[in-house]
Structure 1
Amino acid sequence: MNFEARSMPLTDFLFYFKLGWSHIVSLDALDHQLFILALVAVFTSKNLKQVLILVTAFTIGHSLTLLLSVLDIIRFSSKWIEFFIPCTIVITALVNLTKRKGTNYFLALVFGLIHGMGFANTIRMMLAKDQNIGWGLFGFNIGLEVGQIFFVFIILCVTWFFLSVIRIRQRDWIIFVSAAVFSLALQMALQRIPF
């Protein structure tokens, strides 16, 4: 596995970028989307900088797990990871329901580590055949971050619409979104109990 700074063809970068992008925006990425929705539910566009830092903390955790997995330093049972991922969503939604501030940066980083393990086996096999692992991971993580920022933008626009146009109180909006996310994630977790 080679981390040399060799040039990576643009097509390879775009391949991994699209893979990272689809990891957040595809129809198969519901658990990832629910987590981002729960993470951002307590914020408005006035908190954009804070939201972007929070999402980036999640991406850093996600990226670190992918790196350690590709280097074969860590491996976890996929059954347990598939169970823990909706548990992180449940916890994030509960934090929103119990306090106004929402998830902190450290928790977002830790939850990013767990979510990264969910995709680790797939990307490990793809990157193990690639001579430019560092660039592959870089392309994937840039795609993931851009996809998340895109999704955050949509969430903040919808939030603005409901708070400013429909005139729903922010606390009611947070409760509505977080309760819906909590319900879906709890159902996912119960369906994935590994024992």
Structure 2
Amino acid sequence: MNEFWLYFKLGLNHVLDMQAYDHVLFIVVLVAAYNFSDWKKLLGLVSLFTLGHTISLLLASYSIASVSSSVIEFLIPITILITAFFNIIASRKSNHSEKIGLLLIITFFFGLIHGFGFATYFNMIKDDTTILPLLEFALGIEIAQIIIVIIVLIISFIFQSFLRFNKRDWILIISSLVIGIVIPMLIENWSF
């Protein structure tokens, strides 16, 4: 049971660590276009991201696949940037949810990329060759992401209900703020 909490907390801290806020930025921009009524879609998106993240960790743990850390560090801000631009483009449509199929595929793929970014560290601390630590870690990631989703939905509700931001403006503001934060990350990790 002690080992479960170790890997579970590691998953929680991986997402909620403000020193490595790229994960939080991705979830924030992913959730920006949704409301509480979309909780099933959001749970699906977040779970697909976790699944992609877990698969890439699994592939790296068993030396099936590896990707250069410099490439991954460059691709992570790209995934956030693409998601933000997707929101901006989709906000022109009356129903952002119509694009959910494409967003599901993109989210899973981006989960793969983000997982490879953590693979080296995870492999260094993992002292077990079984899959169990990976699943415990994934559960921690999933719970942390759900916490972020709830916080973003509450903030979104406050801004849209009480401060009277319309949904389109909210999406544009959040996506633009995230783009402004991600561009320096992109420049910093430019490796070409």
TM bucket, shorter chain: over 0.9
Q: What is the Cα deviation at residue 29 of structure 1? A: 2.6
Greater helix fraction, Structure 1 or Structure 2: 2
Q: What is the Cα deviation at residue 126 of structure 1? A: 1.9
Provide the TM-score with structure 2 as the length reference: 0.93
Query: Which of 33, 40, 48 is matched with 2:39 structurally?
Result: 48
Post-superposition Cα deviations, 1:148-182, rounded to whole Å, max 9, x if no partner, equal 00110000000000001111111000000000101
2:184 paired with 1:187? yes
SS in 2 for 1:168: coil
Identity of aligned residues (%): 39
2:12 paired with 1:21? yes
Query: Which of 25, 29, 37 is matched with 1:34 structurally?
Result: 25
- Aligned-residue CA RMSD in angstroms? 1.1
Shift >3 Å, 4+ stretches: none
Partner residue in 2 for 1:5? none
What is the aligned length?
A: 184
Q: Distance in 1 between matches of 2:181 and 2:18?
A: 15
Q: Distance in 2 between matches of 1:17 and 1:31?
A: 19
Query: Which of 128, 131, 135 is matched with 1:130 structurally?
Result: 128
Q: Distance in 2 between matches of 1:183 and 1:68?
A: 33
Matched to 1:152, the amino acid is V
Partner residue in 1 for 2:120? 121
Q: Which runs of 5+ in 1 are unaligned?
A: 1-9
Post-superposition Cα deviations, 1:72-113, rounded to whole Å, max 9, x if no partner, equal 111111111001000000000000001132661111000000
Q: Distance in 2 between matches of 1:85 and 1:31?
A: 7
Matched to 2:34, the amino acid is F
2:141 paired with 1:144? yes
